[in-house]
Amino acid sequence: MYKTTLSGQVWRFDSLKTLMAKASPARSGDALAGIIATSAEERMAAKMALAEVPLTDILDNPLIPYEQDEVTRLILDTHDAQGFAALRHLTVGDFRDWLLDDATDTATLQRVARAITPEMAAAVSKLMRNQDLILAASKCQVVTRFRNTIGLPGHLSVRLQPNHPTDDLKGIAASMLDGLLYGAGDAVIGINPASDSLPVLAQLNVMLDDIIQRFAIPTQSCILTHVTNTLQLIERGAPVDLVFQSVAGTEAANSGFGINLATLQEAREAALSLRRGTLGNNVMYFETGQGSCLSANAHHGVDQQTCEARAYAVARHFEPLLVNTVVGFIGPEYLYDGKQIIRAGLEDHFCGKLMGLPIGCDVCYTNHAEADQDDMDTLLTLLCAAGLTFLIGVPGADDIMLNYQSTSFHDALYARRLLGLKHAPSSPTGWRRCRLSIRTARCGSPTPAIRCCPSCRKEPPYEPSRCLEPAA
């Protein structure tokens, strides 16, 4: 039992799970689950009570029982008890103060990252204003490597997302060139395929690999298909760089995705066996999003932001190159409007960085949400000020395959120029050695002209020796 007194009234919360749900900022998903605070006063009382909870109490009282959930077992079995010695005397409120203290620097946060459980990160975020989330996250630094180095201070990477509703190779190639000419793609060139057909997926892998290799583009590729499809592609000899999978914060939700921890481990080992990374061996790319556990009826009464933080424990275990919170994609049933999307994006970035993840954000919304591109501009700017690892680049910010609104190549240019941020470095000369002529346009200007060879107008199947040639 947890309790506090506010305005002469004693407020009682019968479990840590209930307390954390009541202390969460208002959002439609928790309301749908029936766990939200019934008033602003109850929410404030819950925050006050949560501030007095020792971190050891959170560690000793898992929100989902150890025996029932493999994610809980992963969190507790891999907890860094030695690193936790520096934090074990703190309450949640003290932990917030410690994170914001000037003496708590990047090196200190790196030392304790694996001592911080998802529930600790989620709990402290509930006591923080937006500016606190931004400041604390900006002190975290997470660096990963495959063919380039991602996450260094002063850098912002972009996932180039050249999706096409029919997986048309020429359409995908046109979007790729558009993005590359704007300097996008240094995080990854990642396609969400419309098809699960293995021959189509293999064709997409070959196309991306050929373009990256022929034009010496210092990046990596990923086809965002189910992990079991990628395992089959690896077995068939496809040129797979990164293995993708959506992950959630409970065993039941991950079962709904058709995965478990053993499957992810098998996929990571398969990708490592290919030895395709030139600078490092971070071979996994994960995506997450608040509301996934609730949508699968697999949340166990835990609030959606804490479930999201638990997904980061899954991702962290497999040492990914990139983790992407697709913050507004799931829709207004879970994050109703721009205000809720902005708050969730800042929470996700803070919790991910605090736990040691190379986390980026798809700053996005669905067409039936109470949000618009101005809200996305706000969230993008706040996240980049907080040290966002990467964002998404979609032609015109409108994904014609997934039918949602994201960020454009121009948006990435805006952020880089506003804050003086650079591409991910790959070598001493970096992108300057790329044999594709990357002539970055100005913010708001149309894409530079692209000259194609005559053979690129021929019909598929794609033949690596007959496709797009760089501009003279």
Phi, psi of 223 (to 5 degrees): -100, 120
Tokens at 361, concatenated = 């954000």
**Cβ pair 162, 176 in contact under 8 A:** yes
Q: Which positions make up the binding site for substrate?
A: 159-161, 192, 287, 362
Tokens at 443, concatenated = 């913010």
Q: Give yes or no for a cis peptide into 470 (omega within 30° of 0).
A: no
Q: Cα 77–83–86 angle (5° rounding)? A: 130
What's residue 432's pLDDT?
Answer: 55
Q: Domain residues of the chain, as ranges?
A: 2-139, 144-432
Segment 286-302, tens digit of pLDDT:
999 999 999 999 999 99
What distance in Å separates the CA atoms of residue 398 and residue 376, rounded to the nearest whole number?
13
Q: Which positions make up the binding site for adenosylcob(III)alamin?
A: 193, 245, 295, 401
What's residue 434's pLDDT?
Answer: 60
| pLDDT tens over the chain, length 472 residues | 899 999 899 999 999 999 999 999 999 999 999 999 999 999 999 999 999 999 999 999 999 999 999 999 999 999 999 999 999 999 999 999 999 999 999 999 999 999 999 999 999 999 999 999 999 999 999 999 999 999 999 999 999 999 999 999 999 999 999 999 999 999 999 999 999 999 999 999 999 999 999 999 999 999 999 999 999 999 999 999 999 999 999 999 999 999 999 999 999 999 999 999 999 999 999 999 999 999 999 999 999 999 999 999 999 999 999 999 999 999 999 999 999 999 999 999 999 999 999 999 999 999 999 999 999 999 999 999 999 999 999 999 999 999 999 999 999 999 999 999 999 886 444 555 565 554 445 555 544 433 333 334 434 444 433 333 333 3
Give whole-number Cα distances, 197 to 66, 201, 204, 460, in Å.
38, 6, 11, 16
Is the pTM above the cut of 0.85?
yes
What distance in Å separates the CA atoms of residue 454 and residue 66, rounded to the nearest whole number?
61
Domain 2-139 class in CATH: mainly alpha
Phi, psi of 243 (to 5 degrees): -95, 130
Tell me which CATH code domain 144-432 carries.
Answer: 3.20.20.70
What's residue 457's pLDDT?
Answer: 40
Q: How far is CA 393 from the centre of its chain?
A: 14
What distance in Å separates the CA atoms of residue 170 and residue 116, rounded to the nearest whole number?
46
Segment 62-115, tens digit of pLDDT:
999 999 999 999 999 999 999 999 999 999 999 999 999 999 999 999 999 999
Tokens at 235, concatenated = 């077995």
Q: Which positions make up the binding site?
A: 159-161, 192-193, 245, 287, 295, 362, 401
